[in-house]
Structure 1
Amino acid sequence: MVNQVYSKNGDELKTDFVLHPGEVLLDEIEARELKKSAVAAELDILPGHLSEMFKGKRSISAMTAVKLEKVLGVSAEFWLGLQSDYDLAQARRILAA
């Protein structure tokens, strides 16, 4: 997700900061005080795969996004939007290099 930062005048300031959706997912799970292994079981994925999502080593697919919607009550569109923002930022960073 690209964070939007605004000046006092309301002008948008550009930032390069983009979170991997796995980081947001980890924050959400911790805020709800859920057991990571229980969340992995509800998502029908291996705990190691969930850990890889947290570390940004694994993307959130459409199927996982729909499962997260059922488990956490946060829309699949939100999770896919985060993933899309992250993927676009990575592609732009690669092409700019």
Structure 2
Amino acid sequence: MSPSTKRNVPQHNPPHPGEILLEDVIPALDITITEMARRLGFARETFSRILHGRAPVSPDLAVRLERAGVSTGQLWLSMQSAYDLWQAEHREQPVIERFARID
């Protein structure tokens, strides 16, 4: 990627937002994973997959977290987007031919 096309991608691997929930939010709330999953309306297994980075924070989870008073849905989705973009930027991608410039 040339400097003129480089987007504002973090230089380090951003944490999966589930990791933030697991390491920061759940301990601060002094709640179990099972209880948080129940209160947010998720099966514990599904919620555990998110916490361990095996599933994304969905818009539904982001809204539920906001309604539960855990930051904003926009923040959770922004963190997920940053994580996803960094992962894509650092995965092997096919060679892509640039489009002609449109003026």
Deviation at 1:73, TM superposition (A): 3.2
2:21 corresponds to 1:18: no
Indicate conservation of the 8 Å contact 2:16/2:79, yes or no. Answer: yes
State which structure, 1 or 2, has the greater radius of gyration over its C-alpha atoms.
2
Q: Which residue of 1 is the match for residue 79 of structure 2?
A: 82
Q: Per residue, is there more strand in 1 or in 2?
A: 1
Q: Equivalences for 1:12-91 in 2 at 5 Å?
A: 15-26=11-22, 27-91=24-88
Deviation at 1:34, TM superposition (A): 1.1
Superposed CA deviations along residues 28-61 of structure 1, whole A, max 9, x for unmatched, are 1112211211110111111011111111001011
TM-score w.r.t. length of structure 1: 0.78
Deviation at 1:72, TM superposition (A): 3.4
RMSD: 1.8
Residue identity over aligned pairs, in percent, reads: 33
State the one-letter code of the partner of 1:87.
D
Q: Per residue, is there more helix in 1 or in 2?
A: 1
Gaps of at least 5 residues in structure 1 are: 1-13
TM-score w.r.t. length of structure 2: 0.74
Q: Give the 4+ runs in structure 1 shifted more than 3 A.
A: none
